[in-house]
């Protein structure tokens, strides 16, 4: 049977699946010889079995017993021994970091007797021992037995009021002893039994509670947000306690080997003297900058710096660290490759390349398209020199403007009505997660870069300012420097500088966008971030197998996409060219009684279309432009049935003439479809309305010839939408070829004719369709719609929330390609199309073309290009490069 418990000395950093991130890294540090307290890890598999069966896996109790004995032997103490107790912490630790989402119980092993033993260990420090005991009852009660946390808070508050003090630290040993009695009463009242005195029972129950916390509401929500699979389970680390709250020569802190907000080199972190682990992360008290530890404890500080250098050297990346100093002795409680902002990710990856630590391929794996997208967000324009309301720690960058709200519930309610809000809290805790997701930004009055608010906001890419100076928060207002800001007032927060402004500050584009646009403010040109983006984008382009085109149907969009690095247009939709003042021509076309009337309307549309195409071909001179023939049903260009019916009825009632409206109404009735998405659209329309596609083909070919005559190099590709059978395409193609031959005669213009693959039948008969197509472009929007039978206009708002909740899929298949289903159709069509025509050009132009995950899939399938909206082009370029590097599968470290 598989082992369920590993001593720290038995694991390593590659065992995250089994030992979780924390356990694997504790093992790694133990084996590096760093000062890690003794302990062991219960595997994620044990958790999975517990969650499946509702009880511990067979053999777990015995294995636990053996490891506990070994730990007791190493430490020379027994768990909960009244004379000289070993105490342990029981900590969650999943494969992926889920900060604060699951449970931890500290001081396990304390009871009415061992509390005296602990006091003796601490040199007769009764206060410390009773404080530790009351913390255990509180955490254990809340976590293991669901006792409402406020009940303990009330008791604590009551003890302080009774004594007439403000701070916990002003309570002495006798007060805390009395508090323990009060806590035990709270415990008994809510659970119906006494607080368990048996140390092993405490340990077993705490382990079970940590297992269960995998399925706490906030953990489920966080996993959904971060796309962490629901079935992984958490490991549990049982670690010998070390205490940072034994006096001024003790403390606890968090450190980063580089600045996780900007990527700057140096030592960053927070330190809290005479405090226990969770106090720093919770941001409950304001912390000291880590550098100040040098003055308090020079030896530990030097040792910490030395360990940080070793860890960076070992992990080849920014590490974050949790440590505790117990009476001048440094202990490492955790390390991991640290979370960082998008800007820091790019800057650090480029720095590590410059430092010779990693190569460019590896650097590309350290950044992501999602991070690049974040860097393309706008920032505040401070030209008007807006007054600053207050200043805090810039904990997660970005520019957020919104109305102030003071609770997660209000944030959720406001966001549901489309309002932008800033969630203002003293500090956040995991229960605030839904509000943090709903808000534009988060502002807290306490805590630093490592507080809960900061860590979670950075993970989400949400703007956050923490520890804002002198902010006094009330129920529905906050005051700062004599000013009052009420619920509903607008403020602007800058997560980069930490500044908070009253009112709405205008925003300006990011320097990364300026860089892509090619008009970077010279003052920013040497910014490490811009240089890093340039270096990594250049490498991504060199590495990529996929090219990136854009979906654009106007000249300005085409020009912008080209500046963003698009290698052509993968989808030029022509429908907007039938709107505006051209509607009237479309109406004439639809109402035409005779061939002559119809030709007349088409004849009027044709030069307008030619001008549209010429503008786009000019912008994309030398690059391919795929123009899709008109796709939507024609009635979409007509007035609504209801409006027209009312108009006609009113006119009749007034005895007015309404001939044209009546004819239009009849046409709209005739063309009405119950399922327009599955009706007369795409190629079907082209086959039914004579001359429509022919007009477009002629306009495309003539525009190309016109550009060639100007000395340009047009590369038009005509794309037929919604094809399901080769015969459809053959019919359109035969007519198109005749027109093209006639128009291009005498020029060297070449026009390709291809099709979209967006109907499942087309994917399944792609071998035949390739006979008549020079290229395929996968229309994955329709392919998803028809593959799943999901109406793309309805389902996302109607019931996807439930599907996501039930885990039927982790993300909407309209957002990220469904690899197994719709993706399989793409694979089949690509393979069978290429079997017929080896040089068949393959691309994708559905929304998935700009989705990072999907880009990797299209690379795997071997498409030639992806096409996406202009703003997503840089993201797709980066991901195309990353996909190519990842698929080589080499380890560059």
Q: Which residues does 380 contact at the CB level (< 8 Å), separation at least 6?
A: 399, 492, 494, 501, 505, 506, 507, 508
E strand or H helix at 188 = helix 173-191
Handedness of CA 313, 314, 317, 322 (dihedral sign): negative
CB of 782 to Mg ion, least distance (A): 4
Residues 729-788 that bind ligand PEP (CB under 6 A): 758, 779-782
Residue 781 CB, nearest approach to Mg ion (Å): 5
The sign of the dihedral angle between the CA atoms of 885, 887, 888, 893 is: positive
Residue numbering of the annotated binding site: 573, 628, 758, 779-782
Residue nearest to Mg ion (CB): 782
**Shorter beta-carbon distance to ligand PEP: residue 530 or 571:** 571
Q: How far is the CB of 781 from ligand PEP (least distance, A)?
A: 3
Partnered with residue 720 across adjacent β-strands are: 755
**Tokens read off for 401:** 């403007």
The beta-strand segments (E) located in 723-874 are 752-757, 775-778, 841-844, 865-868
Size of the site for Mg ion (CB under 5 A): 3
The interface with ligand PEP within residues 782-821 (CB under 6 A) comprises 782
Phi and psi angles of residue 762, each rounded to the nearest 5 degrees, phi first:
-65, -40
Residue 702 binding Mg ion, by CB under 5 A: no
Closest C-alpha among 638, 667, 731 to residue 693: 731
| Euclidean distance between CA atoms 573 and 477, whole angstroms | 50
Query: 268 - beta bridge partners?
Result: 256
Binding mask 629-668 for ligand PEP (x = CB under 6 A): --x-------------------------------------
Considering the complex, state which of residue 460 and residue 795 has its C-beta at the smaller distance from ligand PEP: 795
593 annotated active-site: no
User: Can you tell me the distance from the alpha carbon of 457 to that of 119, in angstroms, rounded to the nearest whole number?
Assistant: 40
Which residue ranges are tagged as binding site for Mg(2+)? 758, 782
- Under a CB-based contact definition with an 8 Å cutoff, are residues 128 and 244 in contact? no
Minimum distance between the CB of residue 774 and ligand PEP, rounded to whole angstroms?
Answer: 18
- Say how far apart CA 308 and CA 256 lie, in whole Å: 8
554: partner contacted, choices ligand PEP, Mg ion, none (Cβ within 5-8 A by kind): none
Q: Are 350 and 367 in contact (CB under 8 A)?
A: no
Query: With b meaning 16 or more CB within 10 Å and e meaning fewer, what string describes 20-34?
Result: bbbbbbbbbbbeeeb
CA dihedral in degrees (255, 261, 264, 267; nearest 10)? Answer: -10
State how far the Cα of 70 lies from the Cα of 40, in Å rounded to an integer.
Answer: 10
Residues 716, 739: contact at Cβ < 8 Å?
no
Taken in order 14, 19, 22, 25, is the CA torsion positive or negative? negative
Q: Is 869 in the site for ligand PEP (CB under 6 A)?
A: no
Pairing label, strands 393-396, 390-391: unpaired
Does the footprint of Mg ion cover residue 782 (CB under 5 A)?
yes
- Which is closer to Mg ion, CB of 297 or CB of 758? 758
Q: In this chain, which of 23, 498, 686, 846 binds ligand PEP, going by CB under 6 A? A: 846
- Whether residue 466 contacts residue 449, with contact meaning beta carbons closer than 8 Å, is answered with yes
CB of residue 577 to ligand PEP, shortest distance in Å: 14
Closest distance to ligand PEP from the beta carbon of 696 (Å):
15
Q: Which is nearer to ligand PEP, 48 or 869 (CB)?
A: 869
Q: Which is nearer to ligand PEP, 754 or 779 (CB)?
A: 779
Q: How far is the CB of 826 from ligand PEP (least distance, A)?
A: 11
Which listed residue (137, 400, 845, 883) binds ligand PEP by CB under 6 A? 845
Choosing among ligand PEP, Mg ion, none, which partner's interface includes residue 125 (Cβ < 5 to 8 Å by kind)? none
779 binds Mg ion, rule: CB under 5 A: yes
What residue numbers does the annotated binding site for substrate cover? 573, 628, 758, 779-782
- Helix (H), strand (E) at residue 278: helix 278-281
Contacted entry of ligand PEP, Mg ion, none for residue 780, CB cut-off 5 to 8 Å set by kind: ligand PEP
Closest approach of ligand PEP to the CB of residue 575, in Å: 8
Shorter beta-carbon distance to ligand PEP: residue 632 or 714 = 632
Q: What is the token pair recorded at 467?
A: 């520890």
573's contact among ligand PEP, Mg ion, none, with CB below 5 to 8 A by partner kind, is ligand PEP
Residue 571 touches which of Mg ion, ligand PEP, none (CB < 5 to 8 A by kind)? ligand PEP
User: Total binding residues for ligand PEP by CB under 6 A?
Assistant: 10
Q: How many CB atoms lie within 10 A of CB 55?
A: 10
Q: Give the helix/strand (H/E) hosting 75.
A: helix 60-75
Using only the alpha carbons of the chain, give its radius of gyration.
33
606 interface partner picked from ligand PEP, Mg ion, none, CB below 5 to 8 A per type: none
Residue 23, binding choice from Mg ion, ligand PEP, none, Cβ under 5 to 8 Å by partner class: none
499 vs 872, which CB is nearer to ligand PEP? 872
- Restricted to residues 507-566, the positions that interact with ligand PEP (CB under 6 A) are none
HEC string of 588-615 equals HHHHCCCHHHHHHHHHHHHHHHHHHHHH
**List of residues 6+ apart from 515 with CB closer than 8 A:** 530, 533, 534
Q: Which of 845, 856, 859, 868 is catalytic?
A: 845
Which residue number, 317 or 782, has a Cβ lying nearer to ligand PEP?
Answer: 782
Beta bridge partners of 502: 491
Residue 38 interacting with Mg ion (CB under 5 A): no
* Complete DSSP assignment for 539-607: HHHHH-SSEEEEE--SHHHHHHHHHTT--SEEEE--GGGGSGGGHHHHHHHHH--SHHHHHHHHHHHHH
Comparison of 487 and 782: residue with beta carbon closer to Mg ion = 782
- The least CB distance from residue 858 to ligand PEP, in Å, is 13
- Residue 390 three-state SS: strand
- Cα 480 to chain centroid, rounded: 33
Task: List the catalytic residue out of 452, 539, 848, 859.
Answer: 452
Beta carbon of residue 572, minimum distance to ligand PEP (angstroms, whole number): 11
Judged by beta carbon, residue 565 or residue 633, the one nearer ligand PEP is 633
Instruction: For residue 452, indicate whether it is catalytic.
Output: yes
Pick between residue 430 and residue 846 the one whose CB is nearest to ligand PEP. Answer: 846
- 346 neighbors 882 (Cβ within 8 angstroms): no
3-state secondary structure of 238: strand
Q: What residues numbered 733-772 form the site for Mg ion, per CB under 5 A?
A: 758
Residue 724 is a binding residue for ligand PEP (CB under 6 A): no
Judged by CB under 6 A, the chain residues 572 through 611 that form the site for ligand PEP are 573
Distance set, CA 134 to CA 90, 109, 141, 278, 417 (Å): 17, 12, 10, 15, 44
What's the min distance (Å) between Cβ of 757 and Mg ion?
10
847 forms part of the interface with Mg ion (CB under 5 A) = no
Give the span between the Cα atoms of 738 and 242, in whole angstroms: 84
Binding residues (CB under 6 A) for ligand PEP: these are 571, 573, 631, 758, 779-782, 845-846
Binding residues (CB under 5 A) for Mg ion: these are 758, 779, 782
* Residues taking part in catalysis: 452, 845
């Amino acid at each position: 049977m598989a082992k369920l418990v590993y001593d720290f000395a038995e694991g390593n950093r590659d065992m995250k699946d089994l030992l979780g991130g924390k356990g694997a890294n504790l093992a790694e540090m133990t084996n590096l010889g760093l000062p890690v307290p003794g302990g062991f890890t219960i595997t994620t598999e044990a958790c999975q079995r517990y969650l499946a069966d509702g009880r511990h896996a067979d053999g777990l109790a015995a294995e636990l017993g053996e490891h506990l004995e070994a730990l007791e032997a190493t430490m020379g103490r027994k768990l909960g021994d009244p004379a000289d107790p070993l105490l342990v912490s029981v900590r969650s630790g999943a494969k992926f970091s889920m900060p604060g989402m699951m449970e931890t119980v500290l001081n396990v092993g304390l009871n009415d007797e061992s509390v005296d033993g602990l006091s003796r260990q601490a040199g007769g420090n009764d206060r410390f021992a009773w404080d530790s005991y009351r913390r255990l009852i509180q955490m254990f009660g809340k976590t293991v037995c669901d006792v409402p946390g406020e009940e303990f808070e009330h008791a604590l508050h009551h003890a302080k009021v009774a004594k007439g003090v403000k701070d916990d630290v002003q309570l002495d040993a006798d007060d805390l002893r009395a508090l323990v009695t009060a806590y035990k009463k709270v415990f008994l009242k809510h659970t119906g039994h006494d607080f368990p005195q048996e140390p092993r029972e405490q340990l077993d129950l705490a382990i079970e509670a940590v297992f269960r916390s995998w399925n706490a509401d906030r953990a489920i929500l966080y996993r959904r947000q971060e796309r962490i699979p629901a079935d992984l389970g958490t490991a549990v680390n049982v670690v010998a306690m070390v205490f940072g709250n034994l006096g001024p020569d003790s403390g606890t802190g968090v450190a980063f080997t580089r600045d996780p907000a900007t990527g700057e080199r140096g030592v960053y972190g927070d330190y809290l003297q005479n405090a226990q682990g969770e106090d720093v992360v919770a941001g409950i008290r304001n912390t000291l900058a880590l550098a100040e530890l040098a003055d308090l404890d020079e030896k530990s500080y030097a040792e910490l710096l030395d360990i940080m250098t070793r860890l960076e050297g070992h992990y080849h990346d920014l590490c974050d660290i949790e440590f505790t100093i117990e009476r001048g002795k440094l202990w490492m409680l955790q390390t991991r490759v640290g979370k960082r902002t998008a800007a820091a990710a790019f800057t650090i990856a480029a720095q590590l390349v410059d430092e010779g630590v990693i190569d460019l391929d590896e650097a590309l794996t350290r950044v992501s398209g999602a991070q690049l997208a974040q860097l393309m967000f706008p920032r505040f324009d401070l030209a008007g020199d807006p007054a600053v309301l207050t200043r805090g720690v810039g904990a997660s960058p970005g520019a957020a403007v919104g109305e102030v709200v003071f609770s997660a519930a209000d944030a959720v309610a406001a966001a549901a009505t489309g309002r932008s809000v800033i969630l203002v809290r003293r500090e956040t805790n995991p229960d605030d997660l839904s509000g943090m997701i709903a808000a534009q930004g988060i502002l807290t009055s306490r805590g630093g870069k490592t507080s809960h608010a900061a860590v979670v906001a950075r993970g989400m890419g949400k703007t956050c300012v923490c520890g804002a100076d002198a902010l006094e928060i009330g129920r529905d207002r906050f005051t700062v420097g004599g000013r009052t800001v009420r619920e509903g007032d607008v403020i602007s927060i800058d997560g980069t500088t930490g500044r908070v402004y009253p009112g709405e500050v205008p925003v300006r584009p990011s320097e990364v966008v300026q860089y892509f646009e090619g008009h970077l403010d010279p003052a920013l040109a040497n910014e490490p971030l811009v240089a890093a983006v340039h270096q990594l984008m250049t490498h991504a382009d060199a590495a990529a197998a996929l090219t990136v085109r854009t979906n654009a149907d106007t000249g300005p969009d085409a020009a912008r996409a080209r500046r963003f690095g698009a290698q052509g247009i993968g989808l030029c939709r022509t429908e907007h060219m039938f709107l505006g003042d051209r509607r009237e021509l479309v109406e004439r076309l639809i109402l035409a009684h005779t061939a002559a009337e119809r030709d007349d309307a088409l004849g009027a549309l044709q030069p307008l279309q030619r001008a549209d195409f010429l503008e786009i071909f000019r912008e994309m001179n030398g690059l391919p432009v795929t123009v899709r023939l008109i796709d939507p049903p024609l009635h979409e260009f007509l007035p609504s049935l209801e409006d027209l019916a009312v108009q006609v009825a009113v006119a009749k009632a007034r005895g007015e003439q309404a001939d044209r409206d009546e004819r239009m109404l009849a046409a709209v009735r005739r063309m009405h479809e119950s399922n327009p998405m599955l009706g007369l659209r795409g190629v079907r329309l082209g086959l039914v309305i004579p001359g429509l596609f022919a007009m477009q083909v002629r306009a495309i070919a003539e525009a190309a010839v016109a550009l060639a005559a100007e000395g340009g190099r047009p590369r038009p590709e005509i794309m037929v939408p919604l094809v399901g059978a080769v015969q459809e395409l053959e019919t359109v193609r035969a007519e198109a070829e005749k027109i093209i031959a006639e128009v291009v005669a005498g020029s060297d213009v070449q026009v390709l004719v291809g099709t979209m693959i967006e109907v499942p039948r087309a994917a399944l008969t792609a071998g035949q369709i390739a006979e008549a197509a020079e290229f395929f472009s996968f229309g994955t929007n329709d392919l998803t719609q028809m593959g799943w039978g999901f109406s793309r206009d309805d389902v996302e708002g109607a019931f996807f929330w439930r599907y996501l909740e039930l885990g039927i899929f982790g993300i909407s298949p309209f957002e990220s390609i469904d690899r197994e289903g719709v993706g399989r159709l793409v694979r089949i069509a690509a393979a069978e199309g290429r079997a017929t025509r080896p040089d068949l050009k393959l691309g994708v132009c559905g929304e998935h073309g700009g989705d990072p995950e999907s880009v990797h899939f299209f690379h795997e399938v071997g498409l030639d290009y992806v096409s996406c909206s202009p703003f997503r082009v840089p993201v797709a370029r980066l991901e195309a490069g990353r996909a190519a590097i990842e698929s080589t599968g080499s380890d560059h470290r």
